[in-house]
Structure 1
Amino acid sequence: MNTSATARTPRMEARRVAKGSAGEGAARAGLTARGVIYLLVGVLALQIAFGDGKRQADRGGALAELADQPFGAALLWALGIGLVGMALWRLSEVLFGSVGPDGRKARKRLLSAVRCAFYTFVAYSVLSFAAGSGGSGSSDEQSKDVTARLLEVPAGQWLVGGAGAGIAVAGVWIAVRAALRKYHDKLRLGQMSLRTRRLVDVTGVAGGVARGAVFAVAGAFAVRAAVDYEPDKAKGLDDTLRSFADTPLGPWLLVCVAAGLVLFGLFSFAMARWRRV
């Protein structure tokens, strides 16, 4: 009897389940849920750009908008469950590795762990909202509160500055990878027609660059808050998006970024359909 093969069986079975239909379903549900959030945030930002914004362009505003739709409660629960699927998918990547030749490397697993933690928090906030807790405030309030608390601890300025710099660098990395179409490595391109591939590239490039720009600007505001020791200078998603309208280009830059976020939402739907999991 081969005891080593027997010992490996539970892990191999767990990997098979994680990479099988259940794991694939969780990943595609999560990507769809991500697409819904970005699509709604982009639409809210467009409304702000054209002077008709009644809600904040962040996750809280997107959830409130969704709640006002027919069957809004059911949609919120479905969104939260989809995000739980995203978190579980990222957890499976931590445990068993992700798609690609270097998917089992420590760097990839660490990145998946960060994504798992992020989507666990997002799923919790969405499910809390669906359960009637009303969420935990706007992204702007949360950002300022967290920054203020961190600035009070020893080496707080370095912590906030380092986190802001990390977010800004991540934003640039996201934008550059989108512009270079690095997402092609994760898509089943052979299943797409030439026209579909071109449309996906439009959403992937424009959406990824817009998303990266938002991250980069938000990170820059955090660095500024750390340098000036003023937590109010840190900005959440809503204030970050509004800041694009304060540039010399005026609201038209916000229109471009908001449209890009809508496109990223559509790109997430395409990923849910054609991504290799």
Structure 2
Amino acid sequence: MVDKSEKFSTLVRIGFFSRAILYSVLGLIALTSAGKISEGTNGIFQAIKDFPLGTAILWLMVLGLFGYALFRFASTAFDIENHGSDKTGWAKRIGHAGSAIGHLALAYSAYKFATSGSDSGGGAQEAASGVLSMEFGGTLLGLLGIAFFITAVFQAKKGLTGSFMNRISGAAPSQTRLLGGAGYVARAVVFLVIGWSLFKAGFMSGGAQQIKTLGDAVASLAGEGAIFTLVAIGMLAFGLFSLILAHYRIIPDMGSDGRVPSFRA
């Protein structure tokens, strides 16, 4: 019989696999198709839908991205990855909350494409408009932008120091460090773009329509020459890295006796 912790672990691994598809397609589109990347996140999901069994893949991504979001929410609320409760620990955990919200938005977009063939309503912008209509909604969006800034800092630090290897099995391929390093630095750039769009929408009356999701953030760099190319390569590297994580990532048990995982030395 499979216990709850094992089910959770399986769901998270599907999440890493879904993330691998998402980032690999994003990187490939950015490097090969200017027209598609200009469509932002919608272009990514439309490309996936056009694959053989594309709708089935989208449904798998809905499940996986939702599972990954739960993993990050659990990291924030219950500290299942043992970051601690000091300032640094809480900064990492708040960053995970921003990541969780971002992946929930991606899961919703995948759901819209799986069920209706498009996300013409602009899921993230629509949700942001709803938040802005609430009292203190602008503050919430602005704070979410700050959470993405914090996440970007830790993503860059991970990429440069290789600290992410502590949470990966020693049996992982030798290329894992290089792929992860390039991917995390590229993600840091993308998260800064997303964070700035949220910060402007929340604190500078920029409007919900300017908020950028993953694909939109990469597309906004299209005129930046070498920076765009390096970020696109980094997105592809992060996709391959996520595929490795789907098998080799150390995922902590959810049981009360196994909350803190034995990370790789």
State the TM bucket, normalised to the shorter chain: 0.7 to 0.9
Residues matched between the structures, number: 246
Paired position in structure 1 for 2:147? 166
With over 3 angstroms needed to count, the CA separation of the structure-2 counterparts of 1:121 and 1:239, relative to structure 1, is closer
Q: Per the alignment, in what secondary structure is the counterpart of residue 98 of structure 1? A: coil
Q: CA RMSD in A?
A: 3.5
Cα shift at 1:243: 3.3
The AA in structure 2 aligned to 1:128 is K
| Alignment deviations for residues 17-72 of structure 1 (CA, whole Å, 9 cap, x no partner) | 2333x333222111101111111112222235xxx323546432221101111222
* Structure 1 stretches lacking a partner, 5+ long: 1-12
Cα distance between partner residues in 1 of 2:84 and 2:177: 24
Paired position in structure 2 for 1:79? 61
With over 3 angstroms needed to count, the CA separation of the structure-2 counterparts of 1:181 and 1:235, relative to structure 1, is same
With over 3 angstroms needed to count, the CA separation of the structure-2 counterparts of 1:207 and 1:227, relative to structure 1, is same
Cα distance between partner residues in 2 of 1:260 and 1:130: 27
The AA in structure 2 aligned to 1:47 is T
Paired position in structure 1 for 2:255? none
1:19 matches 2:5: yes
1:132 matches 2:116: yes
Paired position in structure 1 for 2:21? 36
* 8 A contact 2:18–2:61 mirrored in 1: yes
Paired position in structure 2 for 1:219? 195
1:242 matches 2:242: no
2:41 aligned to which of 46, 59, 75: 59
* 8 A contact 1:41–1:261 mirrored in 2: yes
Cα distance between partner residues in 2 of 1:188 and 1:245: 36
1:209 aligned to which of 176, 180, 185: 185
1:230 matches 2:206: yes
Cα distance between partner residues in 2 of 1:79 and 1:97: 25
* 8 A contact 1:26–1:82 mirrored in 2: yes
Q: Which protein has the larger Cα radius of gyration, Structure 1 or Structure 2?
A: 1
Answer 1 or 2: which has greater helix percent.
1
The AA in structure 2 aligned to 1:19 is S
Q: Per the alignment, in what secondary structure is the counterpart of residue 146 of structure 2? A: helix
Cα distance between partner residues in 2 of 1:163 and 1:89: 18
With over 3 angstroms needed to count, the CA separation of the structure-2 counterparts of 1:222 and 1:65, relative to structure 1, is same
Cα distance between partner residues in 2 of 1:92 and 1:153: 26
The AA in structure 1 aligned to 2:193 is V
With over 3 angstroms needed to count, the CA separation of the structure-2 counterparts of 1:222 and 1:86, relative to structure 1, is closer
| Alignment deviations for residues 186-234 of structure 1 (CA, whole Å, 9 cap, x no partner) | 1111x24xxx22x111110000010111101222233345554332554
* 8 A contact 1:37–1:59 mirrored in 2: no
Cα distance between partner residues in 1 of 2:104 and 2:219: 27
TM-score by length of 1: 0.72
* 8 A contact 1:45–1:57 mirrored in 2: no
Cα distance between partner residues in 2 of 1:24 and 1:149: 33
Q: Percent identity?
A: 27
* 8 A contact 2:40–2:214 mirrored in 1: yes
* 8 A contact 1:58–1:237 mirrored in 2: yes
With over 3 angstroms needed to count, the CA separation of the structure-2 counterparts of 1:120 and 1:159, relative to structure 1, is closer
Cα distance between partner residues in 2 of 1:77 and 1:62: 15
Cα distance between partner residues in 1 of 2:3 and 2:107: 22
